[in-house]
Structure 1
């Protein structure tokens, strides 16, 4: 029987790539993302760490070719970062409303989307910190249901 973990593993081995924009939309996107509270918070964190990085360089590091999140795809879908109840930071949704994954297979929390789709639970609410713990949780729940 296939489960969320199998679907996550398929994503982890997929040929994922971020959305590409035309030059005009790229400029609009960059202006938009640089004006978000999320970006301001990250820039403040970098400044507080003592790292000397301009906002332009920081933005390029975050949304450049090595980014593990499709910020452009989120922008095109009208998605913005939201406050997250399990910490004080803003977080981006893992996928669009139609299920397109915005997190790359290398993103450390991509697995959470697949777990939540199947269980309806945020793994943080259950104290689950990684895909292996979450997989064991769902296996255990299935064993209990089968009894």
Structure 2
């Protein structure tokens, strides 16, 4: 599916998504037109899903990250849909993941302080529908946070 030039272009974009098409072409050893066509093909095939700005939420004053493991009341037929719809509306919830097994979902919640987290938890989290059980894990340190693929 991907040839060596495609992989090189993707590696370059992972390292520096702000590279211009001409810079990508120079570094990939190709022409700007060829790189443009390859990028279009990668977008159309869904390999390249987009480019985003990564904002350092610590720099904006968010010092606390809590991972909440959620188990839902599965006796309610629409528990999953109603819970996730409500959780999406909580601005401090920056990630929602689903799982197979005892834990149904994981929410990643950020807060400015532990006191701020307590308010978010009390006012926005425990009021979410169909909660059966919550386990909170407070992040102490982030050892690795790299979404780059080994291309």
**Shorter-chain TM-score: which interval?**
under 0.3
- What's the TM-score, normalizing by structure 1? 0.25
Higher helix share: 1
- Relative to total residues, which structure has the larger strand share, 1 or 2? 2
TM-score, structure 2 as length reference:
0.25
